[in-house]
Amino acid sequence: MWEVFVRSRRGLSHTHAGSLHAPDAEMALRNARDLYTRRSEGVSLWVVPSAQITASSPDEKDAFFEPAGDKPYRHPTFYEIPEGVHHL
């Protein structure tokens, strides 16, 4: 099982597009191209083995993300976004 990430245009981030089955990375990349970019929706693909992804548990979200709440400087509310900047 492989997770597929697609970047739709240069300058944007890759986003999760879905999952697929493949025997190896090369075949996963080819299958991802055929499945997720049939109509030229992307300029870049990443494929990652599903077993290699480590995720936080939704049940522990309060305890896991609580320490970030006391660091307001990490939130972009303190910064002015200059004109002409479209993607941050």
pLDDT tens across 1-45, in order? 999 999 988 888 999 999 999 999 999 999 999 998 888 788 899
Alpha-carbon distance of 29 to 32, in angstroms, equals 5
Strands (E) across the chain are located at 2-7, 15-20, 44-49
pTM of the model: 0.66
> Given a cut of 70, is residue 61 above it in pLDDT?
yes
Question: Of 34, 55, 53, 54, whose CA–CA distance to 45 is shortest?
Answer: 34
> Given a cut of 70, is residue 75 above it in pLDDT?
no
Pick the CATH number of 2-56 from 3.30.70.100, 3.90.1150.10, 3.90.1200.10, 3.10.20.520: 3.10.20.520
What phi and psi values does residue 55 have, to the nearest 5 degrees?
-125, 155
Cβ atoms < 10 Å from Cβ of 55? 5
Q: Grade residue 58 by pLDDT with cuts at 50, 70 and 90.
A: confident
